[in-house]
Structure 1
Amino acid sequence: MSSATTDKVALVTGASRGIGAHLATALAQDGYAVAALARSQGSLTELTERLRGGGVTVLPLACDVTDADSVAQVVRQVTGELGRIDLLVNNAGLIEDEVPIWEADADQWWQVLVTNVRGPFLMIRAVVPVMIEQGGGRIVNMNSGAGTKENPVLTAYTASKSALGRITGGTAAAGAEHGVLAFDLAPGVVQTDMTASMDMHQGRTEWTDPQDVTELLLALASGDLDAWSGRMVRAGSDPVEKLRELAAQGLPDTARLVRLLPWGEDDPVAD
């Protein structure tokens, strides 16, 4: 590792390419030591060499985020070598083939749920005790607006992102007294290998700028937007300054939360 020192440590899953590589790079440039995780350590070579070339401390680690033992071992290694974890970014994720649910491959469908839900759960489960012991920390779950509405051909992905929102909210609610905050960050539609391969994005000419995603991540990591803990923000649609203004004004209890909408005041679920 580089001899550069830092008092900020970020752990980023799915860091080898796409949005994850953008996030890891932005954090490194902002002064974080970065623990970069991917299924294969070899896939992190380019990122590691590039960031270390800039004098950044990078710890590349192979990790299957769906395996509890692998996650626990990696978290022990990160804390052992870097001393702490101030920020966890749950970015690793999958998407299924775009077909109606009755045409879906059962194993592929379930693997999306395992990766997108069990993965963040295991990472949070392992990292939060570290954060509590050190006095606090922040978690950013890379979510999606897709988790707030139905999609006829992506039932696994949308279900996983809805579930991830529940994980974020529960983590924020339980973690508040310990100084642990959690956020959902929807990156919009960034041009990556995954989005470029999707039928729904064929012919798309307007993409979310990765810089919008990284700017929002850094604002969440800095503490500027702590009032948004437990809520969703979206790159490309939510300027950081606007989010600051809204937080200063006071956020409504239901702002940016996924909730069941009652049909009216006489709906029993409204009680």
Structure 2
Amino acid sequence: MTAPVAIVTGASRGIGAHLATALEDSGYAVERGSRSTAEVTDRAEVDAWVADIVARHGRVDLLVNNAGVIDAEVPLVDSDPDEWWRTVETNVRGPYLVTRAVLPHLTPETGRIVNLNSGAAYRNDDNATAYNLSKGALARLTSQLGLGEGRTALVFDLAPGVVRTDMTLGMQMHRGRTEWTSPAEVTDLLLAIARGDLDAWSGRLVRAGTDTVESLGARAREGLGDRDRTLGLVTWGADDPLG
């Protein structure tokens, strides 16, 4: 049998490199994406890259949408419009284009998509608003594809916690931080998703450093509500007409 095939965007450094290496160590043939391979916001480059991968391997078993950037940690009124929009394009248009190109070639029933997300998707904070907004949009994409009767594929939001990388070291909010999420905590969850151990969490968020494979499995066996670990409208109660 040939090795399962994984695509990891933004895999030249940081969390992406850790994820790609862990998959390779687990027997995957890994295609590592970077700006020199294909710019994820460029439709033509993405389509050509994925077509080349499929031509060589015949299929895709796992897509990890990891490529992402953060805008300046300043209030919206002080943000740079061009940087702000580039952040949204990278973090939303990028996963959209790669997912769109991969979906027709994803192995039936067992193919999976993992979107690297963040607790910022759920945070109300007037700093780095493009990043926060883009991660919220990505969470909705995950649930739209991976949850409910209209499910397109097995799709997961994986929040890596705070791993020590060039990106996090440069962020104001993490200055002076002494406790970090270990890469192993992130890769453990990714590999469990890839194996199918966490399929009950399709369309939902799991977080490294807080969740474990065991704790998520136990919670799933207890049963998950329709809105558990998803992004959506919180109504005021049973009498809310929008409920």
Counterpart CA distance in 2 for 1:97 and 1:222 is 37
Alpha-carbon RMSD across the aligned residues, in angstroms, is 1.6
Letter in 2 for 1:243: L
Q: Which of 120, 125, 134 is the aligned partner of 1:146?
A: 120
> What's 1:268 paired with?
241
Query: Contact 1:175/1:181 (CA < 8 Å) preserved in 2?
Result: no
Higher normalized helix content (fraction of residues): 1
Counterpart CA distance in 1 for 2:80 and 2:143 is 30
Counterpart CA distance in 2 for 1:25 and 1:242 is 25
> What's 1:103 paired with?
78
Q: Helix, strand or coil for the counterpart of 1:268? A: coil
Letter in 1 for 2:33: L
Provide Cα deviations, 1:225-250, integer angstroms capped at 9, x if missing partner: 00000000000000111111111222
Count, aligned residues: 243
Provide Cα deviations, 1:48-72, integer angstroms capped at 9, x if missing partner: xxxxxxxxxxxxxx00111111111
Q: Structure 2 matches for 1:160-175, cutoff 5 A?
A: 160-173=134-147
> What's 1:113 paired with?
88
> What's 2:178 paired with?
205
Letter in 2 for 1:252: G
Letter in 2 for 1:154: A
What is the TM-score of this pair, normalised by structure 1?
A: 0.86
Q: Helix, strand or coil for the counterpart of 1:185? A: strand
Q: Which of 224, 227, 243 is the aligned partner of 2:216?
A: 243
> What's 2:40 paired with?
65
Q: Structure 2 matches for 1:73-92, cutoff 5 A?
A: 73-92=48-67
Give structure 1 regions of 4+ aligned residues with deviation exceeding 4 angstroms.
174-178
Query: Contact 1:87/1:221 (CA < 8 Å) preserved in 2?
Result: yes
Q: Helix, strand or coil for the counterpart of 2:242? A: helix
Q: Which of 126, 133, 140 is the aligned partner of 1:159?
A: 133
- 1:82 Cα shift? 1.9
- 1:168 Cα shift? 0.6
Query: Contact 1:28/1:34 (CA < 8 Å) preserved in 2?
Result: yes
Letter in 2 for 1:139: I
> What's 2:15 paired with?
19
- Aligned-residue sequence identity (percent) comes to 56
Q: Helix, strand or coil for the counterpart of 1:34? A: strand
5+ residue gaps, structure 1, are 41-61
- 1:154 Cα shift? 1.5
What is the TM-score of this pair, normalised by structure 2?
A: 0.96
Change (3 A) 1:254 1:135: closer
- 1:136 Cα shift? 4.5
Counterpart CA distance in 2 for 1:238 and 1:164 is 20
Provide Cα deviations, 1:196-248, integer angstroms capped at 9, x if missing partner: 00111110000111100000000011100000000000000001111111112
